[in-house]
A and B are shown apart, each in its own frame.
Chain A
Amino acid sequence: MNLAHYARIWLTSARYSIARMLMFRGDFLIWTLVELFWMTVNLLMISVIYRHTDTVAGWTKYEMMLLVGTSLLIQRFLMGFFWSSIFEMGRNIRSGNFDFFIAQPGNVMFMATTRKLDPDSLLNSLVAAAVVIYSARQLGLHPGAADIALYVLLVGCGVIIHYSMLVLCIAPAFWITSAQGIEGSYFTLSEFSRLPREAFRGVANVAFVWILPVVIVSNAPASTLLHGFDLRLIGWLLAVTAIWFSLAVFVFHRGLRRYTSASS
């Protein structure tokens, strides 16, 4: 199995998703609006807080907007490329429909997590990117091509980290088939990525900044754009990406061994 083969499989899935979107245009419109509204909610919160204070943990209004925009951008990519597939994976494991993926010619994790795209989220990633660009302009930043490339790389790492977290949130379905609502834990964790790292103190700092990757995932790219290249921060993010992705792959395959197909 080579890379070109997987690229072909992925393109076929993408084509299928787009055909599906064109079939359900009304749905597409509604879900695009839903995401747009929720993104606006986050930005409104920032605007309201900054009406009453100048800095939050040392971050000014537009620095914070840039952070939230980055966090939204990463989440839109996750939603666009993986969310539907991984979310349905949990249900399929419970119902036994997961058999379908095991029978396919390819890596099971790849097949099961990349099957569906959500074009509405991909469209909204443009809005999130616009928030980042707008904030950067308000701050008078002039990033060079290298800075932008680095930012894109770090956002890519962020997507991999979120992907790993989501797989880890869903994978318990292999062990406890009755667990419902565990998907919600992912959203709870992702809330942390809209906060600046400097706001975390004590136990919260250890748990959410050092142990879980939920804060660093958005703070590293945002800080890089704001304050330039910082080897320690970038090394940290790359290491965290490698560790969490490996962990997700390991847990997924452990779970796969436990999979016993449909019970009925």
Chain B
Amino acid sequence: MLATLNKYRAAFSVGLQSNLVYRVNFAVRGFFSFFHLIVVFILWSAAYAGSPAIGGFNFAQTFTYFVALLVVQFMIGAFNEDYQISEEIRSGLINQFLLKPVNYFGYRFSIYLSARLVTGLLILVPLLVTYPLLRDYLVLPAEAWRLAIGLPALVMSALIQFGIAYCFGLMSFWLLEIQGLVILSMAIESVLGGQIFPLDLLPDGLFRLSQYLPYYYQMYFPVAIFTGRLNDPAAALTGLGLQACWVVIILAIGQLLWRRGLRLHTAVGG
């Protein structure tokens, strides 16, 4: 057990080092994300000029939602895990894992965790720098249940994020190029995951439907709990159950793709 843990701790540490090499790239990315926040600020403050509440929330609440979403994205979002997996399959680098007593999912997940540790800490830099400007527009509710349900929701969101990227990466066993598919699904994720607008602003039926899809639990769900867009603890608990179902389903699909894909894999190169 301890030996197993040590294996993945080594992977984590390698991942940490290689991600620290790209710290400037991540910092630049974080910096540009704050330009996106300027767009959000300008657009939504103009929308709020006509009505003091949109969907029952004031401007500060909506803006807080977008800031939280950005931070969570850097903390748990899968950035390029799908491409990395795809590259390893296409180039044959994956062969080395087939010969070693290493679980590929575990190895990849350790690297993902180390990468998010780096990006998650780096996003705090622009956040702290701009905090004096943002402060007046940030409102966070402070009930204890939000932490109790929000934190496990955040962990499961990370699993869903990584799990989906893992599945897309494994599709390289069948497809030559996954980039188009990934960007296509990103467009869907960005809408149904609440990155374009808070999902609760959708018409009622669509909002309810979205709660049964995995995208809802990729990011919107924990962020909605933390920023006060979801205010009913009972509903949050139900959500947590649904989220757990999606985690299981997505990880199972990943496992299935891995087994089926390996049968097809011809181990070119290496």
A residues contacting B by CB (< 8 A) are 27, 30-31, 33-34, 37-38, 40-41, 44-45, 48-49, 51-57, 180-181, 184-185, 188-189, 191-192, 195-196, 198-200, 204
Contacts and interface: CB of A to CB of B under 8 A. Distances in A.
Interface in B11-61: 25, 28-29, 32, 35-36, 38-39, 42-43, 45-51, 54-55
B176 to A, nearest CB: 10
B101 interface: no
Contact of B180 (A31, A44, A199): A31
A41 B181 CA distance: 16
Given A45-B197, A57-B49, A37 B180 contact: no
Nearest to B32: A188
A34 B51 CA distance: 34
B196 A204 contact: no
Contact of A48 (B36, B42, B50, B201): B201
Contacts of B148: none
A42 to B, nearest CB: 8
A181 B201 contact: no
Given A51-B203, A53-B50, A181-B29, A41 B191 contact: yes
A72 B108 CA distance: 38
For the complex of A and B, the 7 pairs showing the least CB-CB separation, nearest first, are A30-B180, A37-B187, A199-B46, A57-B46, A52-B54, A53-B50, A188-B35
B47 A41 contact: no
Contacts of B28: 181
Interface of B: 25, 28-29, 32, 35-36, 38-39, 42-43, 45-51, 54-55, 177, 180-181, 183-184, 187-188, 190-191, 196-197, 201-203
Contacts, number: 83
Given A48-B197, A185-B32, A53 B183 contact: no
A36 to B, nearest CB: 9
A157 B45 CA distance: 29
A223 B187 CA distance: 29
A53 B38 CA distance: 20
12 contacts: A41-B191, A41-B196, A51-B201, A52-B47, A52-B54, A53-B54, A188-B32, A191-B35, A195-B42, A196-B46, A198-B46, A199-B42
Contact of A37 (B35, B50, B188, B202): B188
Contacts of B203: 51
B136 to A, nearest CB: 14
